[in-house]
Chain A
């Protein structure tokens, strides 16, 4: 795919724009979605059969139900909690608020993709979360870790303010935020000033 950014799946179904009301679904049935998830290429069919991606499927649904990547959690399902956070082309996004059919050509990183695929070694963020017990029930944790990943990609040495801002969209019912901040602080050497 020479031009993956914002190329719709309609690349594969040229008749799309002439589709008439009522006939659109038939057209989309032949099309494919290409996703790069955790370094693996997935070509997914669009349609309304059980194994296919429906136009109404969210990315969270596809990751969990179609690809079996259940590390990404769904909680509020309305964009307000951050549990479903994944990285898309390096940026934190909410997978519950994206349609899979609109993610053609995107590179997705989920919690499952953080560990080293050869050695199985965990990402330093995961290690630090474990060392600092930065969770209780753990339901918000994949989202917290993915937001942290996005933050550190953007600011390798974030200030306390940047850490709080970077994680402001991730809620934790068990109030483990303080431990999360400690885990990140330990990782970035930030002493809490600036």
Chain B
């Protein structure tokens, strides 16, 4: 790793002050499980002049319920999300998504803030600088996206606007189902951004002098059934090829509330609103399940080499619906 100046801060204000002072030439470090990989391979368009350790900020490490709102500090670790009994009983999708990330060692240090702000996993983007120089793609300020004509088997099948890399964060997929808001702190105070709007075509809804302070989740409907499925080639370590999160509320046999989020198919997590609408008011049967899967994937435009992800996504949707229909209990 090339050298950088190193700072540690104890408050959000201090972090923001330093970010401002470096004017975009500093990087925050939370767990470091993503940042250190980027620095070692020297893939960022500009190597940061400084790294700012935000771990000493104390008040970002709690999960708390406040007036029905669940607030999760940016420094809450994935292991804490996965193991918290509150998460497991009330927000099992988020707990399961956290549990399915990486390995125990990663979850012991990786944070929710870092997970949401992690960089894309596109292999052109991550190509190590020391092997023949960096690949200057669109996301790094270049002119083209080599993935479009190259090997894009893991890239987006919808929603790409220039950059075809998918949002790598499983927590973002899970949070979409809960309509979570990301609380962003900056020099002028705080603002909230809906998780689905947090990802931009070439980056994040964060200015150079802003950071994620916490995430909050509005109350969930009573007695809903929830499930998260992540399709990977190997169970641990691998990123999702496709993931689906689904929350259903029933009135008798009929679906009264439906939320479906799809991950790893687009540069941001996707809510399948059309499919949700179709589900509401119907019982879950084979016809509906097929129809819903078709509607959810209707707007996809796969590249030449990743159409298979459409089929995986449809299958996962059918699986998740069947599972929620037949399992009375939410299984973690």
Contacts and interface: CB of A to CB of B under 8 A. Distances in A.
A and B associate: yes
A58 B51 CA distance: 14
Interface in A126-174: 147, 150, 165-166, 168-171
Contacts of B29: 99, 102
Contacts, number: 118
Interface string B2-23: 1111111100001001100110
Interface residues of A, number: 44
Most chain-B CB neighbours within 10 Å: which of A9, A85, A92, A96? A92
B14 A17 contact: yes
Given A6-B55, A82-B105, A19 B7 contact: yes
B14 A169 contact: no
Contacts of B4: 55-56
B304 interface: no
Interface in B194-248: 235-237
Contacts of A109: none
Given A16-B7, A58-B36, A79-B33, A85 B14 contact: no
Nearest to B75: A6
Interface of A: 6-10, 16-17, 19-22, 24-25, 28, 48, 54-58, 77-80, 82, 85, 91-94, 96-99, 101-102, 147, 150, 165-166, 168-171
Given A7-B56, A21-B5, A102-B8, 20 more contacts: A8-B56, A19-B5, A55-B3, A56-B1, A56-B39, A57-B1, A78-B41, A82-B103, A92-B108, A94-B109, A97-B106, A98-B32, A98-B109, A99-B53, A166-B104, A168-B104, A168-B236, A169-B103, A169-B106, A169-B236
Please name the 6 residue pairs, one residue from A and one from B, whose CB atoms are nearest each other, closest first. Answer: A169-B103, A24-B5, A8-B8, A55-B6, A168-B236, A56-B1
29 contacts: A6-B56, A7-B56, A16-B7, A17-B7, A17-B18, A21-B22, A21-B25, A21-B49, A22-B5, A79-B33, A79-B102, A80-B237, A85-B105, A92-B105, A92-B108, A93-B105, A94-B33, A94-B109, A97-B32, A97-B36, A97-B106, A97-B109, A98-B32, A102-B29, A102-B32, A102-B53, A102-B55, A168-B235, A169-B105
